[in-house]
Chains A and B, each alone.
Chain A
């Protein structure tokens, strides 16, 4: 199992155990992390599972692909460390990953 931490906009921290191969979004929904809506259910079609990857993790998590980058155009307050959490697959190297939830989703 891989440890993930979600930091909600109000600062509340949610530590969850995630299975490799699942997406960061799925783990947020399973654990009812507030502020992750995932309207389209993970199809990279809505930009409502937007998160900020903690600065210390951006290199390991990597850059969004073109399709995700296009979808990020619809997100609110997009920053260089913005990602759609449905497009980040959990894997061993992400053990300890911290992501922040933005003020709102679009």
Chain B
């Protein structure tokens, strides 16, 4: 079990979470960021890295990935620590006021302040629009491969047309009893080499590829027995005891919803002085928070973290006087940024 301590734990490494490191860093607070993705940037990196953003002050146009890169450069002097590929699960307030946060990978992080900068929520696999699929999840239907042995000897149906679908089709073919790849069209979003390999294996009858969409499942007690595929020539029913759908990612609030914070339509209400939630010491900034007049702009998130940092400082260093300073003229701030003469 990994464990670590930090002044501030930031949940979400999107643009607002990253800039929080800067504002908190100016007040000497150390930060750890946790994110379910494998890299910083949140939606900017995952959904639209190449799209230009036009409303970042002083950047007439900057790509979403470009903004993330610049933010990483800007916060580098504060040496933030990152826990990627992790989702927060539990939160507990200890007697001395410290928060103890656990993750789905059994990591434990202790922090004096928690900042939720989770945007639209954590990215999770999208449930495909197949009736009753919920009944089979976790027993016959899986959204990722944790152990290949789960699929040994099974009639496996893989649904999707991206790299995940193609890679697992090729990798699980030797393990499963049969593999059928289902995709709604003969073109793929995957690496051409994988697609060629798949077609070659189909040629040799080592697997089957069906053009179509899965419209129904049959089975009982969570155990799948067959899947109905609607193709260009009508419906076909194929044996299926394991299914792996790869339909991309969607965003969900996740376990944060169970932390006892007040919620407003899946958003977290905060005050507009400190951006603190209904639990003292837990702040929410960026797209995930709500207050009268809230605008979901990166710009607004940047403003929010500046104010939040003042309030966080009072918790992390109680009794210490907070001096308002400008980075243009303060030699102490410039020292922290590593730009002092």
Residues of A within 8 A of B (CB): 39-40, 43, 45-47, 69-70, 72-74, 76-78, 104, 106
B51, B129, B160, B161: the one contacting A43 at CB < 8 Å is: B51
Q: Does B248 lie within 8 Å of A78, measured CB to CB?
A: no
Q: Does A74 lie within 8 Å of B213, measured CB to CB?
A: no
Instruction: State in angstroms the CA–CA spacing of A73 and B219 once bound together.
Output: 26
Instruction: State in angstroms the CA–CA spacing of A69 and B184 once bound together.
Output: 11
User: With a CB–CB cut-off of 8 A, which chain A residues contact B126?
Assistant: 74, 106
User: With a CB–CB cut-off of 8 A, which chain B residues contact A40?
Assistant: 43, 47-48
User: With a CB–CB cut-off of 8 A, which chain B residues contact A106?
Assistant: 126, 129, 247, 250
A-B contact count (CB 8 A): 40
Contact with A along B23-63 (1 / 0, CB 8 A): 00000000000000000000100011001000000000000
Residues of B within 8 A of A (CB): 43, 47-48, 51, 120, 126, 129, 160-162, 183-185, 187, 189, 213, 247-248, 250-251
Q: Does A74 lie within 8 Å of B247, measured CB to CB?
A: yes
Closest 3 CB pairs of A and B: A76-B129, A45-B47, A43-B48
Main DSSP-derived SS at the A contact region = loop
Q: Does B51 lie within 8 Å of A73, measured CB to CB?
A: no
Q: Does B129 lie within 8 Å of A73, measured CB to CB?
A: no
User: With a CB–CB cut-off of 8 A, which chain B residues contact A45?
Assistant: 47-48
Q: Does B189 lie within 8 Å of A104, measured CB to CB?
A: no
Chain A proximity of B189: nearest CB distance (Å): 5
User: With a CB–CB cut-off of 8 A, which chain A residues contact B120?
Assistant: 39
Q: A104-B129, A106-B126 are in contact. Are A73 and B183 (CB under 8 A)?
A: yes
Q: A73-B160, A106-B129 are in contact. Are A78 and B184 (CB under 8 A)?
A: yes
User: With a CB–CB cut-off of 8 A, which chain A residues contact B251?
Assistant: 39
- What are 13 contact pairs spanning A and B, CB under 8 A? A43-B47, A45-B47, A46-B47, A69-B185, A70-B161, A73-B161, A73-B184, A73-B189, A73-B247, A74-B247, A76-B129, A78-B213, A106-B126
